[in-house]
Chains A and B, each alone.
Chain A
Amino acid sequence: GEQVEQRPPHLSVREGDSAVIICTYTDPNSYYFFWYKQEPGAGLQLLMKVFSSTEINEGQGFTVLLNKKDKQLSLNLTAAHPGDSAVYFCAVTPSSSGQKLVFGQGTILKVYL
Chain B
Amino acid sequence: NSKVIQTPRYLVKGQGQKAKMRCIPEKGHPVVFWYQQNKNNEFKFLINFQNQEVLQQIDMTEKRFSAECPSNSPCSLEIQSSEAGDSALYLCASSLLGGRYAEQFFGPGTRLTVL
Which residues of A have CB within 8 Å of B33? 99-101
A31, A100, A105 interface centre (most CB from chain B within 10 Å): A100
B31, B101, B104 interface centre (most CB from chain A within 10 Å): B104
Tally A residues with Cβ within 8 Å of B. Answer: 23
- In the complex, the answer to whether B103 meets A46 with C-beta atoms within 8 Å is yes
Which residues of B have CB within 8 Å of A103? 42-43
Beta-carbon contacts under 8 Å, A20-64 to B: 31-32, 34, 36, 41-46, 49, 51
- Output the nearest chain B residue to A103 by Cβ-Cβ distance: B43
- Output the nearest chain B residue to A87 by Cβ-Cβ distance: B41
Task: Select which of B6, B41, B45 is within 8 A of A106 by beta carbon.
Answer: B41
Which residues of B have CB within 8 Å of A51? 101
Q: Is B107 an interface residue (CB 8 A)?
A: yes
Q: Is B84 an interface residue (CB 8 A)?
A: no
The complex places the Cα of A109 from the Cα of B95 at a distance, in Å, of: 27
Q: Is B74 an interface residue (CB 8 A)?
A: no
- In the complex, the answer to whether A105 meets B42 with C-beta atoms within 8 Å is yes
The complex places the Cα of A111 from the Cα of B90 at a distance, in Å, of: 27
CB distance from B6 to the nearest CB of A (A): 8
- In the complex, the answer to whether A98 meets B55 with C-beta atoms within 8 Å is yes
Task: Select which of B100, B101, B106 is within 8 A of A44 by beta carbon.
Answer: B106
1/0 per residue, CB under 8 A from B, across A83-102: the answer is 00001010001000011111
CB distance from A20 to the nearest CB of B (A): 19
- In the complex, the answer to whether A31 meets B91 with C-beta atoms within 8 Å is no
Q: Is B88 an interface residue (CB 8 A)?
A: no
